[in-house]
Structure formats: C-alpha cells, structure tokens
Structure 1
C-alpha cells in the first residue's frame, strides 16, 4: 500500500450520492462560519462521514481542489473523532481557498467545540 492510499479518507467515511446530500441538508442542523456552511445529521452507523460541495464561485479548478484537500485533511486528522456518528456536509464559500489548514481547523472547531 503506498503512502497516499494509507492516509486517504476511506470510502466508508464519505458521503457520495445526491440523495444523501439532500437528506442531510433537509433534516440536518446548519452551522455557519465565515467561509463554510456546515450541515450535520446523526447517522445510524456510528461513524463520522464527510461530504464536500465546492462550486465554481470559490474559484478555478486548482482553488476548488485545494479547498477539498484541506477540508478532507482537517476532517481526517481532527474532526472525524469529534463528529463520530454524524454525517457532515460542508459547502465552501468564496474566499475559502485562501485559508490554511490551521485556519480551517479553527473555524470548524469553533462549531464542534474542540
């Protein structure tokens, strides 16, 4: 197993389908930060899962991919244990591409108490 795969977020920790995203947004709780909208919904599996939405309003493909990488890393390293048992759907807002991992973590921990 190469290093990149070893540190990747497993498939079981990802929200993939549009149906799942819709359900989380309809029934979940909304938290707002300066650069993100964060929806959370209790799930029956007991494992924290992450879904990301980063639109073109955030920037070009390079900027959008950077935002996704930083959010996944933040979730993988820190938030996954804090939100165990919850599905978390994060929508990035314009300006999110300017944030470092530490700044993203600070915004998220303000919401999840870290």
Structure 2
C-alpha cells in the first residue's frame, strides 16, 4: 500500500477514534471517518500484542491489507478507516478474515458494490 493510503500518525488515529463512527463484529472493530475532500481512502491498522507474537500480528496485518487491496473498487472513497483486530482473528485463515471484514464493512455501510456472492 502506498504511503498516502496509510494512517500512521497517532494524531490521525486519535482523530478517527474521536470523530469517526465505529462498527464491530466478533473479529474486528472498524472506525470510519468521513473525509469528503479526499479522493481516496486511507487505512490504519491496530493489532494488539494480545493477538499473539509478532509473527501472528504481522500475518493478520498482511491479511487485512490484502483484503482492502482486493476490495478497493468496492470500498467507498473519501473516508479514513481504522481496523482493530480482536483476539479470535489469530486463529483465522485468509478466507475467514476476508469474510469477516466484508461482513463488518457491509454493516458499516461502506461497501459500494457487492464484492462477491456467498456460496
């Protein structure tokens, strides 16, 4: 993911947490902050040490980034997103992570088009 599409600074995270709206399921919490002047969306990830050791945390972050990469045409632009991973994510594979993220993004109302149909 390019630098301009990421949220890295603590002030930016805090702004999303304080002014954004949150939606959650068992595996993820998604904070969405509306930024209509922004022609793209930005993504911030928070994966706590409670999830597991560095290998597990990095795998979870890779999975989340890949889901956003695959769904970028389906996700509403002009928003900042902060994804917080919860403990159950540690034992999930990529397909489960994708399904859970799609579910929480639908719940948040930020998926524009249907990314894929469920079997």
After TM superposition, the score normalised by the length of structure 2 is 0.82
1:48–1:87 CA contact under 8 A, matched in 2: yes
Q: 2:27 aligns with which of 35, 53, 75?
A: 35
User: RMSD across aligned C-alpha pairs, in angstroms?
Assistant: 1.4
Report what 1:49 is aligned to.
42
Q: 2:77 aligns with which of 79, 84, 103?
A: 84
Report what 1:10 is aligned to.
2
Across the two proteins, how many residue pairs are aligned to each other?
A: 106
In the alignment, structure 1 segments of 5+ residues that lack a partner are: 1-8
Q: Which runs of 4+ in 1 moved over 4 A?
A: none
More helix by share: 1
Report what 1:5 is aligned to.
none
Tell me by how many angstroms 1:79 deviates. Answer: 4.4
